[in-house]
Structure 1
């Protein structure tokens, strides 16, 4: 038998090779969370409180107190910063005052009198009147007239020049200043030797003091710096009231029995005055200050 015919071989088409497809990872959408109505009401309530003036008043008070504590941290506890006066003031004294001259310009004494922070206010003022033998402070008469009108106790001072005759300076001072009942005692301001010897300075100063006391029946106050007092006046004129300049210190480094007034700063800011001012503390209470006044 002839062999069966062979079936033709059918070739299968080649399977195409597919390139791998890079797929981006699916991004899941965040589900939005709705804020409960209770929370919304609470947030609105907090906003209303934050916007209220009362809230800001408490915050401001707390901020000022905290800032004051930070500034005074590590300092003497009896030496406190007063923001309105822009200086530190010793705490142990209850009566405070200033001293002024032409340098402060035209002063609104009503504003000076009404200025107050806590227990500190201006109770007295020393006003420059004269210097040497010829100079009259151009604002003296106005200050001397206007300050007492608002209830500020006043005293006049003379800037002493040791090269000039002491008695003549005293006469000049009393020609300008009319010292009356209720005034603080007159003051002589001695700060430098002006090229003369300490002995000559003390002799002329003694003549000034003696003449003023003889004419007014009031013992004058001596104003000077602490260093000048230590170098040239200590042990002299001890019977006279002393007013000492010693700046930026929590205490005056002089026995309290020796002085009446302490000029502890020259950078105070006072309402009604356009320039910085010297600030002073009185060593005593109201009765002691009243006892110093001219009778």
Structure 2
């Protein structure tokens, strides 16, 4: 693992070199100052799906670098959008002095659109220190719903090359990402054209990931290998992609722009797909209204909605959360604790005390359910009673 102290020293030297280059070459800082090395480095790649990352914790792990998704173009609508946590991840990884690269998920159908994507990415990255390559990532083009479905292999390759050429004109190093199956034998890309000019990042997941499997079985030229999608890294609650790069850098590349970007906040909805609704709800009994869609230690109960009090539900997620508008403020609540039946009254608060001392209130329902992950089925409705064994 690269020593953070060494990187700080190297970063100071590269920043000084960048300032000198700026003085000698005008306002542009497109000339790269961090030198590439032949060391092997371990990295992660992250997007909204990893939720809010504790980058300070990540910096104290074996992770040497991070590839951060900054945005994507819609598969169907073709609109360029930011990753909900892209700027936050760039900001916090930079604060933690973790060398960064970036990637963009493209569905461009022309070289002009690829140029547009590269320009958008460069503008987004300008205020952040990007040391590792900027990557063109294109997936799902064989699906009929993809706007790229009818494109030929040559057309897709031309578009990828247009993006990579454009991103290098902005002073970043370009890299191309694809799976082993797509690259091998030029199955879905004109791989030789891409590898001739740019670094290749290959995805291939052996049953036993690195280091048990020391190298990818992809025989083509490649400089980075994504070896698992189920990595575990302290500071990241969700599974994360892990990578090995056959190169590193002797410092951290300074940002292209001298401007300070506005402070970015994590997107609390990043891991959830909310669907907009517009309906009135009330609590089935009493429902906690939280600052984020979570019941973990990171969430705060801001107030409790009581039965009969009416709030506006503006979105629901498949994961069981409701987004609530109440008195001009946004809150989050567990959907099953709410009802659209504004006349609903909770059942009588008669609680039966069993001989074993357990007090439980049940309401009759007739639902089919499954576990969200793993659920223990017990003999008694308790996790503390000595007889509440797991069946």
Give the shorter-chain TM-score range.
Answer: 0.5 to 0.7
Unaligned stretches of 5+ residues in structure 2:
1-38, 74-78, 142-147, 255-391
- For residues 280 and 210 of structure 1, do their structure 2 counterparts lie closer, same or farther at Cα, with a shift above 3 Å needed? same
* SS of the residue 2:132 aligns to: coil
Residues 101-250 of structure 1: matches in 2 within 5 Å? Answer: 101-115=47-61, 121-132=62-73, 133-163=79-109, 165-178=113-126, 183-193=131-141, 194-195=148-149, 196-216=151-171, 218-230=172-184, 231=187, 232-238=189-195, 239-248=197-206, 250=213
The change in CA–CA distance for 1:180 and 1:101 in structure 2 (over 3 A counts) is: closer
Structure-2 separation of matches of 1:123 and 1:219: 18
Match of 1:252 in 2: 216
Cα shift readout 1:74-122 (whole Å, capped 9, x = no counterpart) = xxxxxxxxxxxxxxxxxxx85211000000010001111223xxxxx10
Give deviations 1:46-78, integer Å, cap 9, x for gaps: xxxxxxxxxxxxxxxxxxxxxxxxxxxxxxxxx
CA-to-aligned-CA distance 1:197-240 (integer Å, 9 cap, x gap): 11211121122112111122x33011111111121232121220
State the match for 2:294 in structure 1: none
Any unmatched runs of 5+ in structure 1? 1-92, 116-120
Q: Kindly indicate whether the alpha-carbon contact (under 8 Å) linking 2:94 and 2:128 is maintained by their aligned counterparts in 1.
A: no
Tell me the distance in 2 between the aligned counterparts of 1:156 and 1:204.
Answer: 18
Q: State TM-score, norm by structure 2.
A: 0.46
Q: Is the contact made by 1:247 and 1:263 (CA closer than 8 Å) also made in structure 2?
A: yes
Q: How many residues align?
A: 192
Q: How does 1:3-14 map to 2 (within 5 A)?
A: none
Secondary structure of the 1:222 match is: strand
Is 1:282 the equivalent of 2:245?
yes
- Rate the CA distance shift 1:294–1:241 in 2: closer, same or farther, 3 A: farther
Q: Which of structures 1 and 2 has the bigger CA Rg?
A: 1
Q: In the alignment, is the contact (CA less than 8 A) between 1:162 and 1:200 conserved in 2?
A: no
Runs of 4+ in 1 over 4 A off after TM superposition: 179-182, 291-295
For residues 270 and 283 of structure 1, do their structure 2 counterparts lie closer, same or farther at Cα, with a shift above 3 Å needed?
same
Q: SS of the residue aligned with 2:59?
A: helix
Q: 2:177 is paired with a residue of what secondary structure? A: strand
